[in-house]
Structure 1
Amino acid sequence: MGSGKTMLVSEMAQAVLKEDAPVCIEAFDGSTFGPEDADLQVRVTSPKAIYQLASNLNEIGLARAYILGYFDIEGLDVADPYPQLRKLVELASYIRKPSPLELARMGAAVLSHGYHKVEVPQSEGPSKFERIKSGLFPHTEKADSETVSFHYDLSNEFYADFIGPSMTYTCAVFDTPDMSLDDAQRNKIDLVLDKLDLKPGDRMLDIGCGWGALVIAAAKRGIKALGVSLSHEQIEYGQEWIRREGLENLAELRVMDYREVPERDFDGITSVGMMEHVGAKNYRHYFDEMFKLLKPAGRLLNHQITISKDKPNNRPGTDEFLDRYIFPDGDLASPGFIESALHDAGFEVVNQENLRQHYALTLHHWNANLKANWADAVKQVGYERAKVYGLYLAACELNFELNGIQVHQFLAVKPDKEGLPKGNWYPLRPWWAA
């Protein structure tokens, strides 16, 4: 940041890190912090990195500095930054609280350079406050349509670059760690359908159907399957896929909000990777709608990302990076919160399964695919957004590994109060393979 009385970047690092922190920081002002042979080598290439961190003392400042290239980590691959992210997480235990004098000096050093407009990456969306100010209140039909489009209507080809030919953008299920991603995704789809245990001619609704993989798999079993999504690109892709498979008589996809589905008396409903967009405060209403859509003794399979612990003040939610760059208005809750919402809506929960480790493996494969198809990914969405997705996938893999987040499947049944004798609306023991 200059010479003389101006605080150097190395001095700022010394103010926030313990002396034995296993990192070497080399800065644009010629200063360095930490041992030269440290396993983690960070280069701060521009004073704009400091402005970003000073303007946003949270993950947004760090994410912007990374996305805009204001700092670099030796050996980091933007398509798969997982190894370096893991080292940064380990560095967290070496953070210390600066003294008031050190804070004052850092503030003075930044201010001494005058006002600098903080750059915002093109791939960053508006904050939650800005969305509300524009009339997009979280989890209204209008806001949901906008936020789903922000995430999913990028490019079908881009998603294929990292999720692979299965076009399945949810946690796979692995029999062994070395199982292929495509086999594991087929495994997951089979698990979902096996748990529902629908028969040929039964009717199924898939809410948040994505590109249609689950609907198509159900139709191949003779199930009459309807899928709904708010993403036009996904539905167009899926409709063409259905035509290629010759399944028009059994499979249908619609651009439609689940709240607008006119049909009733479905034998089964799947909600796979949808609840993250619903909002925890709306869970009870969501499950009330599922209850109405199912026939008595019908089954619901709900598959969603969860948090491993209740958040402070019991306020679910996602972090600001995900909210601005990936899933606007995304919301997570604990498995206990979800099961209570199912129970309060009238469902009987038959089974609950945690697939946390499987999602870490899935994300590992997605980063590897993004790396293998990097040139096309950049062609589809541009370098900056592709870089954002590399960071997002790697950060999520790490979060699943560290048990910050989990993913659960809940199998629930709408009780048949009048129809079946002695309440036997499902078999005595689990009827699906593990």
Structure 2
Amino acid sequence: MTTCIERPATAPQWDRVGPPPHAPVRARFAEALFRNVVAELPIRVALAGGERLGAGGPDAPLMRVPDPAAFFHRLGADAKLGLGEAYMSGEWTSPDPAALLTPFAERITRLVPRSLQPLRRWVERRRPAVERNTPEGARRNISHHYDLSNEVFATFLDETMTYSSALFRPGSDDLADAQRNKIDRILDLAGVGAGTRLLEIGTGWGALALRAAERGARVTSLTLSAEQASMARRRIADAGLSGRVDVQLRDYRDAAGGYDAVVSVEMIEAVGAEYWPEYFQALDRLLLPGGRAAIQAITMPHDRMVATQHTYTWIHRYIFPGGIIPSVRSITDNVRERTGLAMSESRSFGADYARTLRHWRNRFLRRWPDVEALGFSRNFRRMWEFYLAYSEAGFRSGYLDVWQFRLDKTA
């Protein structure tokens, strides 16, 4: 049965998107740049009044802009916030926003002419200090996203309640099977079996801890999300495995003890670059000699990570405050320079994340009446749809990737 979620007295962030800022000079500049970019993209843009832009044929992804003035004022005022806010406000739409955004993501380093790129530091907003992932800030940032509502996540996740990239078997499009396959793969990397003392950093809703316990491991699982902890404990109890799994509301920095294996799936993105050394040192500190760590991480190109790591974007404001996606190089550098661990194995599967995200978006839209019944607004629907489509485009284009890494502690 669907239950209405009690909303805070003040309007949530997604319902506080105001009218477009008045920025006439920047709006003219943004429109000129947009027209120049889309003239070469394999898309179609339909502006109000009948004007058509883009180099795409009749089957190319379509972007409708029913309010060009508002759209260009938002882009001009702050493009990294404005594109998403314009979608939330209905100032542009698309039958398939992921397909539309993919060509932009494929050319992301060339969208702004090289001669204008030095100007970005004068116009791009920097991340607010309040979003730093200090112990207090990390709890606040995690709660913003993961304590949203277990019921909302249940509408679009599969039965395993796994919120990270699946790993599909050849010839199969079964999301739940692909999630179990991913979990088994990373547990295999960490050597988890009967008697393993396993630390999980980032509980999610308990799927990995459950699977590890089924293998005979004894699991300590850490999370900063009260909602996730509550549901994970309930699922573990229902499976009769409470004696093998201890879910704790605890920061990884406060973890103690020694473990045969440490596993962390897509948690590093919430750590923050300034705390990556501490994160990897914690893996090293908590692993016993001969132990293994296995991490799954979303990655982006190193040069783009360096160029954008202090920039404040739509994703930070509405989805993941304090988040930063690492590069493969930043991970390998931290492992080499900050720990005694040795990276012995790695594997990428970014195309599987694009498929995972499409499953999630289709499920979310199909189940929207259930989400709406929980008390969430149309603004929330468009926010979540844009988030999932924007992420899918990143993986479809190859701009984003996802990796599993195995780290060994030899002494």
1:23 paired to 2:47? no
For residues 250-276 of structure 1, give each alpha carbon's deviation from its aligned partner in whole angstroms, at most 9, with x where no partner exists: 0111111111223x1111100111100
1:152-211 deviations in whole A, cap 9, x for unaligned?
011111111112211111111112253300000000111111122233222101001111
The answer as to 2:91 corresponding to 1:70 is yes
Which of the residues 39, 42, 45 maps onto 2:67?
45
Supply the distance in 1 between the matched residues of 2:278 and 2:109 (Cα, whole angstroms). Answer: 41
* 1:50 shift after superposition: 3.8
Equivalent position amino acid for 1:176 in 2:
P
For 1:333 and 1:91, locate their aligned partners in 2 and report how far apart those are by CA, in whole Å: 20
Which residue in the other structure is 1:339 paired with?
332
Q: Aligned AA for 1:393?
A: L
Q: Distance in 2 between matches of 1:313 and 1:236?
A: 37
- Counterpart CA distance in 1 for 2:265 and 2:57 is 46
Paired amino acid for 2:82: G
Judged with a 3 Å threshold, the aligned counterparts in structure 2 of structure 1 residues 177 and 151 are, in CA distance, closer, same or farther, namely farther
> Does 2:131 align with 1:144?
no
Rounded Cα–Cα distance in structure 2 between residues aligned with 1:406 and 1:317: 20
1:271 corresponding residue in structure 2: 264
Matched, 1:84 2:138: no
Residue 231 (structure 1) aligns with: 225
Give the aligned residue type for 1:158.
V
- Equivalent position of 1:365 in the other structure: 359
CA distance in 2, matches of 1:410, 1:248: 29
1:275-354 equivalences under 5 Å are 275-311=268-304, 313=306, 316=309, 320-344=313-337, 345-354=339-348
Q: What percentage of aligned pairs have identical amino acids? A: 30
TM-score (norm 2): 0.80
Residue deviations 1:340-398 (CA, integer Å, cap 9, x gap)? 21122110111111121221121121112112212113333332122212111111111
SS at match of 1:71: coil
How far, CA to CA, are the matches of 1:92 and 1:343 in structure 2? 30
CA contact (8 A) 2:193 2:212 kept: no
Q: What letter corresponds to residue 148 of structure 1 in structure 2?
A: I
Contact kept? 2:87, 2:386, Cα under 8 Å: no
- The answer as to whether partners of 1:317 and 1:332 remain within 8 angstroms in 2 is no
Q: 1:318 offset after TM fit, Å? A: 7.3
Aligned CA-pair RMSD: 3.2
TM-score for both structures, normalised by structure 1:
0.76
Deviation of residue 403 (structure 1)? Answer: 1.2
Whole-angstrom distance in 2 between the partners of 1:59 and 1:138:
19
Shift of 1:71: 2.9
Name the CA shift for 1:52/1:227 in 2 (closer, same or farther; >3 Å). same
Which residue of 51, 60, 63 corresponds with 1:32? 51
Which blocks of at least 5 consecutive residues in structure 1 are unaligned? Answer: 1-5, 98-126, 417-434
Structure-1 residue corresponding to 2:196 = 202
The residue aligned with 1:432 is: none
**Alpha-carbon distance, 1:31 to partner:** 6.5
State the 1:220 CA deviation. Answer: 0.9
The whole-number CA distance in structure 2 between the counterparts of 1:91 and 1:139 is 31
Q: Which residue in the other structure is 2:8 paired with?
A: none
Q: CA deviation at 1:248?
A: 1.2
Deviation digits for residues 7-30 of structure 1 (CA, Å, limit 9, x no counterpart) = 9x9998577525966634332xx4
Tell me, in whole angstroms, the C-alpha distance in 1 between the residues paired with 2:136 and 2:229.
Answer: 18
Higher mean alpha-carbon deviation, 209-218 vs 372-381, is at: 372-381
What residue in structure 2 maps to residue 384 of structure 1? 379
Indicate the SS of the match to 2:93: strand
1:401-420 equivalences in 2 (<5 Å): 401-416=396-411
CA offsets 1:220-239 (integer angstroms, 9 cap, x no match): 11110011100000000011
Is the CA contact 1:164–1:369 (under 8 Å) kept in the aligned structure 2?
A: no
Find the aligned partners of 1:88 and 1:315 in 2 and give their Cα distance.
17
1:400 is aligned to: 395
Measure, in 1, the Cα distance between the counterparts of 2:383 and 2:150. 17
Matched pairs, number: 369
The 1-side partners of 2:205 and 2:172 are apart by 26
Q: 1:55 is matched with which residue? A: 77
Give 1:420's aligned residue.
Answer: none
Which has the greater radius of gyration? Answer: 1
**How many Å separate the matches in 1 of 2:102 and 2:244?**
46
SS at match of 1:409: strand
